[in-house]
Amino acid sequence: MKEVEETEEGFYSFSSQDSRELSEDDLQKLAKQTIVTDFKRNKLEIEARKNWDKFYHRNRENFFKDRHWSAEDLKIICPDIDFEQEIKYLEAGCGVGNMMFPLVAELPNLKLFAFDFSENAVKLLAERASELGLKVATSVVDLSIPSISSPFEEKVDLATLIFVLSAIHPDKHKVAAENMRNLVKIGGTIVVRDYGVNDHAMIRFGRDARLGDRFYVRQDGTRAFYFELEELSEMFEAVGFKCVSKEYLHRITINHKKNLKVPRIFVQARFVRES
C-alpha cells in the first residue's frame, strides 16, 4: 500500500525488505532509554482498555484522519479480489472507523463488520454509521484474550489490522493472530500495516518509556510495539496463514523550512488463510 503523508513541505517514500540502519545519534538515543519498573508494566497491562477508552473519550473522532488511500491500495495489494462483488469486510481494531468509512464510499459492495478493544471507539463508530445510513455489525473485542468463537454470524472475506497489533503486549501477539484466524474464512485475506523497527517514533522515546524490546508507552498510557518483518510473517504462518506479500514501507517526511527529515518505518503484509 502507498500511504499519503500529509505534510506542509513534502515527503518521499519507497519499500524494501530491510529496515533502515541507525545513525550514531540514533544509537545514542536508544542507549539512554531506560526500562520502566515491573509495577508500571503490570499496571499498564491491567489498565490497557481503560487507557484506550480515555483516549477516545478525550479525542473522539477528531484525532485520526480518514485514510483516503485505502481503496486504491487495497486493490493493488489484493489484485485477485473482485471488489465489484459483495465482500464481507472487517475492520479489526476499528477505532472510530477511519479506514472503513472512506473505503465503503469507494467500494459500496462491502458488507461491513467492525470491532475494537475500546467501547467508546465502537460507540463513536456506530453513531457515525447511523448518521451516514450505513449498516455495520459491531462488537467490543479484546484480541489478546484466547477465544474460539467469533462475535459475528459470518466469517469475512477480507480483514484489515491497521496499527492494531502494536498496541497489544508482544507476549499476546500470537493469541491475537489465532483469534483473527477464527474471524476470516479459509481463502480469506488479512492485510496488516503497523510500526516497523527503527521507526523515528521508536528512537525519540525518552527515559521511563521503554517497556521491553521495541515496546514503549506513550504519555497517555497507550502502548506501541515496533515489528520486524520476519517475526510478523512467522507469527501468522504459525497459525495457518500463507504470507502472500510483505515489505517495509519507508516514509521520509521532509520539512525544508526546518531542515528536517523524519524517517518513518512501517511493516506491511498480506496473509491468506490456508487452514
**Residue among 228, 230, 231, 209 at smallest CA distance from 220:** 209
| CB contact at 8 A, 182 and 237 | no
Residue 105 in any domain: the answer is: yes
DSSP code of residue 118: -
| CB contact at 8 A, 240 and 181 | yes
DSSP code of residue 196: B
**Residue among 136, 147, 57, 139 at smallest CA distance from 99:** 136
User: Hey, what's the cell of 13?
Assistant: 517514500
User: Where do the H-state alpha helices sit in 133-245?
Assistant: 173-181, 200-203, 229-237
Q: CA-to-CA distance for 74 and 68, rounded, in angstroms?
A: 11
Residue 83 in any domain: the answer is: yes
| Per-residue confidence (pLDDT) for residue 8, from 0 to 100 | 37
Q: CA-to-CA distance for 186 and 188, rounded, in angstroms?
A: 5
Q: CA-to-CA distance for 89 and 94, rounded, in angstroms?
A: 12
Residue 3 in any domain: the answer is: no
Residue 249 in any domain: the answer is: yes
Residue 265 in any domain: the answer is: yes
Q: What is the pLDDT along the chain (275 residues), one digit of tens a residue?
A: 333 333 333 456 889 999 999 999 999 999 999 999 989 888 888 888 787 778 776 765 554 566 666 788 899 999 999 999 999 999 999 999 989 999 999 999 999 999 999 999 999 999 999 999 999 999 999 999 998 788 999 999 999 999 999 999 999 999 999 999 999 999 999 999 999 999 999 999 988 899 999 999 998 899 999 999 999 999 999 999 999 999 999 998 777 777 778 899 999 999 999 99
| Per-residue confidence (pLDDT) for residue 10, from 0 to 100 | 45
Q: Who's near 7: CB < 8 A, 6+ residues apart?
A: 253, 254, 255
Residue 177 in any domain: the answer is: yes
pTM: 0.89
Residue 169 in any domain: the answer is: yes
Q: CA-to-CA distance for 63 and 61, rounded, in angstroms?
A: 6
Residue 63 in any domain: the answer is: yes
User: Where do the H-state alpha helices sit in the chain?
Assistant: 24-32, 38-46, 48-59, 70-77, 100-106, 119-132, 173-181, 200-203, 229-237
Paired strand residues for 16: 248
Q: Who's near 224: CB < 8 A, 6+ residues apart?
A: 166, 167, 195, 201, 202, 215, 216, 217, 218
Q: Which domain holds residue 70?
A: 11-273
Phi, psi of 4 (to 5 degrees): -90, 120
Domain harbouring 153, CATH code: 3.40.50.150
| Per-residue confidence (pLDDT) for residue 193, from 0 to 100 | 95
Strand ordering across the sheet containing 87-92 = 11-16, 241-255, 260-273, 184-195, 156-162, 87-92, 110-116, 136-140
| CB contact at 8 A, 20 and 195 | no
Per the structure, how many domains does the chain have?
A: 1
